[in-house]
Structures are given as C-alpha cells and as structure tokens.
Chain A
Amino acid sequence: MKSFEELLTSSAEVHGHLCPGQVVGVRMAMLGCRLIGLDDPTSHDQIKKLIVYVEMDRCTGDAVAHVTGAKLGRRSLKFVDYGIMAATFLNLETEKAYRVLSTEEARDLALHYAPEIVGKYQQQLEAYKRMPDSVLFRVQQVEVSLSEFDLPGPTRRKVSCSRCGQVIRDHREVVENGDNLCKPCAHGSYFKDPKEIIWPDMNWTPTDSRQEAASSGQQEECSWE
C-alpha cells in the first residue's frame, strides 16, 4: 500500500479538496485493510477479495473508496445510508470483517493533539493525522452475510415489474400477492409523478456529426452495462 501522505494527496485530488474527513477516511481504510489482511487492496490479486460498506455519504466515504479501490459499479462498494461515520471491510476469501467507527470524541480531542494550530478546521486536519488509531477509531469484529445477489460479477437474475414493466436486476424485486414489483411501485420512491417526455436533439449519438459541438458544451457521464 502507498504511504499515508501519498494516499491522502491522491484522495484529496479525486475528492476535490483536502479536509479532516479525508484524513479520517484514508486512515479508516488503511486500518480496515490492515485488519482483514490486505496490504495492497487495489492490486490485481487483492481487488476481488474486498467488499467495503460505507455508512455515510460524506468526505470520509470518498476517501475510503479511493484507498480501497472499492467501486459501486464493481459491486465492491456498498452504501448503507445510516449516517454513521463508519465503514466495514470484508475479506471475501477469509470471510473476516471489521467495522471501523470514527470516534466522536476525536473532535473534542483535536485541541489537545494540535494545540498550536488556529482554526477548528485546520486543527482537526492536523490532529487527525497525529492521533493514534486507538483514539481516532473504535473497531468491531462483525459477521457479514453476503447474498450471492450482492456479489461482484454478472447479473444473476432479471425479472420485470408486473406494474410498470421495468426490468429489475439481482433479486431486488418485491413479491406482492405473487407479483414481482420494482421497489418504486411497491414502496414508493424518492421521486413522484413520473411523466415520460421528449427532449431537444433526442436523436443525438456520439458518432453524430454534431458530436464535437455537443461535447464542447456540458456533457454528463452515465454508466451503462
């Protein structure tokens, strides 16, 4: 594994800024990987052994993902929306898993570990580098049962929603009265009143002659299987 400083620099670059959460995230990932016996998680022979659950969508989460190389699209990164500054590191080979929690008291202790630094933000940034792991984290050994439908690899199952027709992958359907439903149809969703629309230039393709003009403007990335 690269050094802490190297990882912090590259993580901050990917994330967009250097912040206390980045320091915590890089160290959390380094500790988690060490605990499950992976010394170079992004290497070819280790990358498929690791699953990481992040419990927060904060700066720390990005740093954990960066250091471990875990990715949502590879299914090695799982986001569980607990709002807790914690991540669990699972070694698929050994089935060992450790949940590393950032301690709340570390915030109050920043004053003691970096007394010469003025400003809460900068003080935390430096203090989180100086604190030993024992102060910065608590660790729980945990058992994680991973369904075959949560594992990396090709899609294992597809069904269609009986109500809206949408294809649902990897056993995420909800069965109601014998019908397969997608979660939005079964439980409601974060959006409401979906209405199908048409939009300008809807026949555009990347090979289109207008590609250059389009790409010089705003272009959003998307993922596709």
Chain B
Amino acid sequence: MLKTIELKDAVGSKLAHDITEIRPGEFKGPAFRRGHTVCESDLCHLQKLGKNHLYVIDLAEDEIHENEAAVIMATALAGDGVSWKDGPKEGKINLLAETDGLLSVNTAALAAFNMVDEVMCATLHNYTLVKKGDQVAGTRAIPLVMKRAPVERAAAIAKQNGSVVSVRPLQRARVGLVITGNEVYHGLIQDRFAPILTEKVKALGSEVVALDFAPDDVEMINKVIGGQLDRGCDLLLLSGGMSVDPDDVTRNGIRLAGATELHYGAAVLPGSMFLVAYLGEVPLLGVPACGLYHRITVLDLVLPRILAGEKIGKAELAFLGHGGLCQDCPECIYPHCSFGK
C-alpha cells in the first residue's frame, strides 16, 4: 500500500521509487533513486521536479514493488540468448541480446502476457537481426505497487513454450549456388546473380563453397544439385527458372533431385515466385529474378530464419503476407521500414 506524505514532512523518509528528471534535449534519467533518504537540500530540487508530495511504501503481504515485479517478469521473459544488466531502472528492465543473431518473439505469449493487468513488455519485431548488446525488449510493472498474483501469473504465461524473447545465433552454412538458365549457361549474357547472392550470404556470416551453372534442363539441374550435396553443401540457393514460362524447369529439377518437401510461392512482393524445398535436412531456396532488380526481396526475410535453424513451410511463407509488400522507396531504408514486419 502507498501512503502520501507532504514534501515538507519528507526529510528522513526513503523514496519509494526512482524520480525521473527530464531536461529536454539534455538529460532523461533518475534524479533520485529508490531508497534515497530525503534530506533538507533535496527539497528544492524535488519541488522543481513538480513534487509536492511523496509516496511512502508499506507493502502488504500480497503486494509487490515495481522493481521486484520487473525482475520476476524479466526473468520469465528472457529466453536463450537474452539477458539484462544491472537492476531495474525507474521500474523498468531492458532485455539485451547476449549474442549476434535473429530475434525470436513468441507473439502469442507476448500478447497473452500483456493482457494481464498492470504489466507490460514491448519488443522489437519478430525476426529482427540483432547484434550483441542490442536492446530487444523492455518490461515493467505499470503501478509502483501491485498485487503479487498477477505478476506471477504473467511470469507463468511468459514461460510457456520456453520464453517470449530469445536470440538465436545464425549458423555458418556451407552454401552452394546454382545459377540456371540457357542464356547464362551458353554465355549469351553474363550472370549477375552469383555476386548478389554471395554478398547476402557473406553478410549473414556464411560462406559460398560451390558455384555451378546449369542450363534449363531438368536432368542437368538435378545433377548439379546432387554434386553440390556431395561436396558437403548444407544450404543451396538456386536462381532462375522460377517463373511460369515453358523454359522455367528449375522446380522440376529440384523434384527430380528428390525434394522431400517443396513449397512454391510466397506472400511477398517482390518475391512471390520464391521456392523453399528440402532435400532431407538440407534447405534449398529458389530465388526468382526479382532478386536481380530489388535490393531487398523475400530472400532477405527467409534466409536469416533458415540460418537460425527454423523450418520454413507453407504456413511460414503464407504468414509473410501481412507486411510482405515492399514500398519500393526511391532510396531503400530496409530494415527500417514495414517490409517483412
């Protein structure tokens, strides 16, 4: 329970919470910390912060202070690859990435957590690439003092299926590139796909270990795929032949190679003719020609998730639809836009 005392009577009292000071453009933070004993010289400063009354806390058995609540909630919310430093500040705890990787948010659990009264957690978008030390989420109890039961229930909800926020490091894949198309294979035009794909692979910490060209021929594509698997590639990217023309036979080559699973079509623009297949455990991504034109496509949404160990199937490709429309800005600002969010 909170009791209110007049500022003039507060000398000698301990502050019940951090008192925030905001000096526009200069400073935002705690001017006084919880537990600070108010002395005569503080009164003027507190008055300038608009404080004419202060809280004194007298916690009942079933009540909890915001700082303790924040620790309970942060502990429950933080999954693998997520932690926090220091204690709560102004009742809030920032959850940080422990490692470079892909942020994974259990959005259902997050929604359920936030439906509990008087608690909150805000996160970055699911599947955001983060660096070690980046803030990925923040949590706090809304009131200064609250009942313990909702906090503990919120923590239980946060722990369902592991946790709410985790950061999965990206695997270092041995990537094989298969560039298909008669026009490239026969030297009519120069391939421009391989450098683009290689750059994307490298940017995510993986390595291109094989590069092969194949004509629009089902048998040849099958053979090249088999050869790359034999050379130890554990992720294959194929370009070309993903469209609807009679010469677009790459899908057939992938089937012939023995794909155990094949999903053609993603709810993303650019990238609707994207393909995800699996040859046993090895993922195989078919990149449509839009990858030559647009800086960012469906590949940039899916590749990090594949490298983070996620299995991509029909549902995952379908769920990309909401936010899957690129605004095609004159100057691309991805990831600081709505694409893929």
Give B contacts to A, CB under 8 Å. Answer: 107-108, 111-112, 115, 153, 156-157, 160, 315, 318-319
Contact = CB atoms under 8 A, between A and B. Distances in A.
8 contacts: A109-B111, A109-B112, A112-B107, A112-B108, A132-B160, A134-B160, A135-B157, A135-B160
Task: Say which size band chain A's interface belongs to.
Answer: 10 to 19
Contacts of A112: 107-108, 111-112
A103 B113 CA distance: 13
Nearest to A138: B153
Contact of B112 (A115, A116, A135, A138): A135
Contact of B115 (A108, A115, A116): A108
Interface string A94-118: 0000000001010011001101100
Interface of B is mostly: helix
A135 B319 CA distance: 23
A115 B107 CA distance: 11
A126 B107 CA distance: 17
Interface string A46-66: 000000000000000000000
Interface in A71-124: 103, 105, 108-109, 112-113, 115-116
Interface of A: 103, 105, 108-109, 112-113, 115-116, 131-132, 134-135, 138
B107 A134 contact: no
Contacts of B153: 134, 138
Given A134-B157, A135-B157, A138-B153, A116 B108 contact: no
A105 B112 CA distance: 8
Given A135-B157, A135-B160, A105 B108 contact: no
Contacts of A105: 112, 115
A1 B160 CA distance: 24
B114 to A, nearest CB: 9
B10 to A, nearest CB: 38
Contact of B319 (A109, A115, A131, A138): A115
B115 A132 contact: no
A127 to B, nearest CB: 9
